[in-house]
Amino acid sequence: MINLETPKKHRALVDQAHQVAMNMLRPISRKYDRAEHSYPKELDMLAAMIDGLSESGAAEGAGATGVRRDEKKDDGGVRNGSNLASVMSIAEMCWGDTGLLLSMPRQGLGNSAIASVANEEQLERFKGTWAAMAITEPGVGSDSANITTTARLDGDHYVINGEKIYVTSGDRADSVVVWATLDKSLGRAAIKSFVVEKGTPGMRVERLEHKLGIRASDTAVIIFEDCRVPAENLLGSPEVDVKQGFAGAMATFDNTRPLVAAMAVGCARASLDLTRDLLAQAGVEVDYDRPGHLQSAAAAKFLQLEADWEGAQLLTMQAAWMADNRKPNSLEASMAKAKAGRVGSDITLSCVELCGTLGYSESELLEKWARDSKILDIFEGTQQIQQLIVARRILGLTSAQLK
């Protein structure tokens, strides 16, 4: 039976993540928001700590994890594993700063792709790498099935050609997981992911984007021109299985979407915590023992925001719990991403509104959190795409039947 309370085995990790967020990330949050594209050197020590915890086995979920459908549970019991631990610790870290969390060495979205799709040999070979993920292309945003970047087999290498945009940590990461098609005529089934290591000839970072939020995180445009990648760097099987279709890609999304939802949950929680304190300082007390309509308009609005937040948190934890227990979670992953992305943005903007001039000025971090949260409703599949996926799953329709 699913229980969405914090499991006892993960409490120490979650508490530790909160301490890191409060004492290491929050104090430098404004500094790196202003110093866009500057690498936060303070994160090197934090990354070393996480590496040590992961190697010791003391912190399951400290690193990126994947949804592996081929694994079986050891017994018939309920498992609270690394996926649940990851979303809970990520939410705490984003309570500190989302952009800094996205800048963490060896914690890139590409690491989740490797964990989800790679075979055992690849998991060992790419262990410790910091992997960005390159999916989006000019003219190909949310519909990943229309990827135009190509990968052509030439001897014992694949030759990759194309352009990728909005690559998180694309300049800083050790490697990039690039999505490309082996044969456009075969559709989405021919789309595979490749690990391209930094410095590979034919891959270059064209520019870094200036952004509304998450400014501490670098976002790159990467060009691939006759970029030769060893054939063994194709993640998973090189065979094109038309029946399986986009399953490998979806396994990645089933993992990363709850992670992004957790980021939104953490950022929104930070806004709610600070807003409650600022309202109290202004003489507005939120009374949890009285209905909202018997309280001030500000208190009633705050209660509604907290209810929305709790719904997002529970959906996020459910999607992660299902992954840990090897249950298909594509529907729940998209529901969590859609709910958390939307209410996260709503909550942070509403907190700015509730706090007036304090919310809008740089004297507090509320305005920054409102800027940061918007991207969490966009990347890893926009709000509209998530709703479309949810509708297809519930109605039992294919992508061709419901566009």
Mean residue pLDDT of the chain comes to 90
Distance CA 346, CA 10 (A): 29
Q: Can you tell me the mean pLDDT for 202-223? A: 97
pLDDT at position 235 is 93
- Residue 225 has φ and ψ, to the nearest 5°, of -130, 105
Q: Is 333 within 8 Å of 381 (Cβ atoms)?
A: no
Question: Which residue matches tokens 């085995």?
Answer: 9
Contact 92, 28 (CB under 8 A): no
Please give the share of the chain, as a percent, with pLDDT higher than 90: 71
Residue 239: pLDDT above 90?
no
Q: Average pLDDT of 39-59?
A: 75
User: Which pair of tokens denotes residue 173?
Assistant: 């990461």
3-state secondary structure at position 208? strand
DSSP code for 293: G
Q: Which amino acid is located at 323 in the chain?
A: A
Asked if pLDDT for residue 285 goes beyond 50, the answer is yes
Q: What is the pLDDT of residue 124?
A: 94
- The tens digit of pLDDT for each residue in 365-401 reads 999 999 999 999 999 889 999 999 999 999 999 888 9
Task: Decide if pLDDT at 163 tops 50.
Answer: yes
Q: Output the pLDDT for position 75.
A: 55
Distance of alpha carbon 322 from alpha carbon 341, whole angstroms: 20
With 60 as the cut, is the pLDDT of residue 69 above it? no
pLDDT higher for 74 or 143?
Answer: 143
Residue 278 has pLDDT above 90, yes or no: yes
Mean pLDDT of 232-236: 94
Query: In this model, does residue 19 exceed pLDDT 70?
Result: yes
Q: Is 380 an annotated catalytic residue?
A: yes
CA distance 118 to 236: 5
pTM of the model: 0.92
Residues in Cβ contact with 133 at an 8 Å cutoff, skipping those fewer than 6 apart: 108, 109, 110, 112, 113, 167, 168, 176, 177, 179, 256
> Could you tell me how many helices (H) and strands (E) the chain has, helices first?
13, 7
pLDDT for 61 equals 46
Query: Mean pLDDT across the stretch 239-245?
Result: 69
Has residue 256 got a pLDDT over 70?
Answer: yes
Give the pLDDT band (50/70/90) at residue 186.
confident
Share of the chain above pLDDT 70, in %: 90
**Is residue 328's pLDDT more than 80?**
yes
Examine the pLDDT at 246 and tell me if it is beyond 80.
no
Q: Is residue 64's pLDDT more than 80?
A: no
Is 222:200 a contact under the CB 8 Å cutoff? no
Contacts 24+ apart (CB under 8 A), 353-361: 354/275, 354/279, 354/298, 354/301, 354/302, 355/275, 355/278, 355/279, 358/278, 359/275, 359/278
Q: Which domains does the chain have, with CATH numbers?
A: 8-121 (1.10.540), 131-233 (2.40.110.10), 247-395 (1.20.140.10)
Is 195:167 a contact under the CB 8 Å cutoff?
no
What six digits make up the tokens of 358?
Answer: 């304090």
pLDDT for residue 62 is more than 50: no
Place of tokens 């990851």: 86
Tokens of residue 387, six digits: 């709703």
Query: Which one is predicted more confidently, 167 or 68?
Result: 167
Q: For residue 271, what pLDDT is reported?
A: 98
pLDDT of residue 247: 59
Looking at per-residue pLDDT, the higher value among 188 and 102 belongs to 102
pLDDT at 63 over 50: no
More confident residue, 212 or 67: 212
Is the pLDDT higher at 113 or at 43? 43
Q: Which of 52-66, 230-244, 312-326 is predicted with the least confidence, judged by mean pLDDT? A: 52-66
In 10 A of CB 45, how many CB atoms? 9
Find the mean pLDDT for residues 338-354: 98
Q: Is 382 exposed, middle or buried (0-12, 13-18, 19+ CB in 10 A)?
A: middle
CA distances (Å), origin 176, targets 83, 112, 218: 22, 12, 13
Crossing angle of the two packed helices 383-395 and 330-354, in degrees rounded to 10? 140
**Taking 50 as the threshold, does the pLDDT of residue 155 lie above it?**
yes
